Chain A
Amino acid sequence: MDISAFVLFWAAIFTGNILLTYFLGMCSYLSVSREIESAFGLGVAVFFVLVVTTALNWVVYHYILVPFGIVYLQYIVFIIVIAAFVQFLELLIERYTPALYYSLGIFLPLITVNCAILGVSLFMIIRNYNFIQSIAFGAGSGIGWLLAILMLAGIRRKLKEKMVPAGLRGAGISLIITGIMALGFIGFSGIVQIQ
């Protein structure tokens, strides 16, 4: 793969948004988007975990799994790395910044099972990115996810006092909003192309 990391970073935010084009991280996206503050907290946590775990998983894959010929174990190893890092981060934040822990800490356990985290690591392996490209891809995906959940939270706050058909309330209307956002993001697709 011969794309500059800079291009990859922007592409991961706009043309190949992890949520709006690859549908990753939908569960927590739908359930934590009621308030802007919590959406922002979760988004920042996802961004941070994405950057670090993508880098860690790249190192683990290329320096441990490939030399020992145990690539088929990648799913188990990746999920252990992610879970261990999230646990470590939780302890660290709790110990040193209790204030941050109370605003961000409650989202951390949710992140281990957020499919965007594992998804980015798997995309990185499938598309054969190098180390710098992987970090750029992880950071871009994290910002893209943060952007998507912030937009949905903002729209849902406005929607509270509007009339929505009973059957569409909650998940239904959120999915329609997301669909319209995805349509909007297709407009970016001419800028850069990555596959």
Chain B
Amino acid sequence: MTKKEIFFNATFKDNSIWRQILGICSALAVTNLMLNSLIMGLGVIFTLAMANMTISLIRNWTPRSVRMMLQVLIIASYVIIVDIFLKANMPQISKQLGPYVGLIITNCILMGRAEAFASKNKVLDSLIDGIGTGIGYTLVLLLISLVRELFGFGSVFGFRVFGDWWTDWSIMVMAPSAFFILAMLIWIVNTYYYKVKA
């Protein structure tokens, strides 16, 4: 596989959310506002890229029996960096994201990529795969939050789009809408992109 193929496979064809159904927790929880989604996505891109790279770097010296534990610890170290950075520079957003930044550690995407890709491939390829997967994840998050913020608050990235005539749909801010919108997205992608037939 060329570098370009690795990147686009990770971003679209094998997209972690709509294809592999991984990392759903945070995809649903932080998507009530687009800004939160973007920050969360950037955090995941950073953690995925760095963790993938590190795990790939030490893959030849890692004993099989302890590799899972080692992977979790590497991921956790990078998540701590993201968390401290957010607390110091964007305390407001850090508070809104709450435990979900820390929960990047148990995000199945990270363990999944570490196990399926980084522990078998070269360093540069793993880095590209990490960035690609992260961007794919961020795009889906932004898509879901675009719908939720637009109808829930009448705004995009905090800027008002609809005028005073708009009545906010409070259902879009609540939990159930996240499930429905993600289900619709998976339905559309399955039908028009993968062309799944009965």
A53 to chain B, nearest CB (A): 12
The distance from the CB of B154 to the nearest CB of chain A, in whole angstroms, is 22
Residues of B within 8 A of A25 (CB): 25
Residue B24 lies at the interface, judged by CB distance under 8 Å to chain A: yes
Q: Are B183 and A179 in contact (CB under 8 A)?
A: yes
Residues of chain A within 8 A (CB-CB) of B25 are 23-27, 115, 119
Q: How far does the alpha carbon of A186 sit from the alpha carbon of B175 in the complex, in Å? A: 9
Q: Are B106 and A115 in contact (CB under 8 A)?
A: yes
CB-CB nearest 3 A-B residue pairs: A179-B179, A167-B190, A122-B99
Proximity string of chain A (44-56) to chain B, C-beta cutoff 8 Å, 1 when within and 0 when not: 0000000000000
Residues of chain B with a CB closer than 8 A to A72's CB: 80, 83-84
B76 lies within 8 A of A122 (CB): no
Q: Whole-angstrom distance from the CB of B14 to the nearest CB of chain A?
A: 15
A-B contact pairs, 15 of them (CB 8 A): A21-B175, A24-B103, A31-B21, A73-B80, A75-B76, A75-B79, A169-B196, A170-B21, A172-B186, A176-B183, A179-B177, A182-B174, A182-B175, A182-B179, A183-B176
B137-184 interface (Cβ within 8 A of A): 174-180, 182-183
Provide the bound-state CA to CA distance between A168 and B196, in Å: 9
Are the C-beta atoms of B99 and A126 separated by less than 8 Å? yes
CB distance from B58 to the nearest CB of A (A): 17
With contact pairs A75-B83, A75-B105 given, residues A126 and B98 touching in the complex (Cβ less than 8 Å):
yes
A76 contacts B by Cβ under 8 Å = yes
Find out whether the CB atom of A122 lies under 8 angstroms from the CB atom of B21.
no
Choose among B22, B28, B106, B183 the residue that contacts A114 (Cβ–Cβ < 8 A).
B106
Q: In the complex, which residues 143-188 of chain A have their Cβ closer than 8 Å to any Cβ of chain B?
A: 165-173, 175-176, 178-180, 182-183, 186
Given known pairs A118-B102, A167-B190, the reply for A172 and B183 (CB within 8 Å) is yes
In the bound complex, do residue B76 and residue A176 qualify as a contact, i.e. CB atoms below 8 Å apart?
no
Q: Mark A31-49, 1 if CB is under 8 A from B, else 0.
A: 1000000000000000000
A interface residues, tally (CB under 8 Å): 45
C-alpha spacing A25/B99, complex, angstroms? 13
Given contacts A23-B178, A172-B187, 14 further A-B contacts (CB under 8 A): A26-B25, A30-B21, A76-B80, A83-B69, A113-B106, A114-B106, A117-B106, A119-B103, A123-B99, A170-B21, A171-B21, A171-B183, A176-B180, A179-B178
* CB of A46, distance to nearest CB on chain B (Å): 13
Chain A residues whose C-beta falls within 8 Å of the C-beta of B106 in the assembled complex: 79, 113-115, 117-119
B37 shortest CB reach to chain A, Å: 14
Q: Quick check: is A20 within 8 A (CB to CB) of the other chain?
A: yes
- Asked, given contacts A20-B175, A76-B77, A176-B179, whether A27 binds B72 with beta carbons under 8 Å apart, the answer is no
Query: Are A167 and B196 in contact, with the CB atoms below 8 A?
Result: yes
- Complex CA gap A20/B176 in Å reads 8
Task: Give the most central of B25, B29, B111, B188: most A CB within 10 Å.
Answer: B25
Is B50 interfacial (CB 8 A cutoff)?
no
**Shortest distance in angstroms between B100's beta carbon and chain A's nearest beta carbon?**
8
Contacts of A75 in B (CB 8 A): 76, 79-80, 83, 102, 105
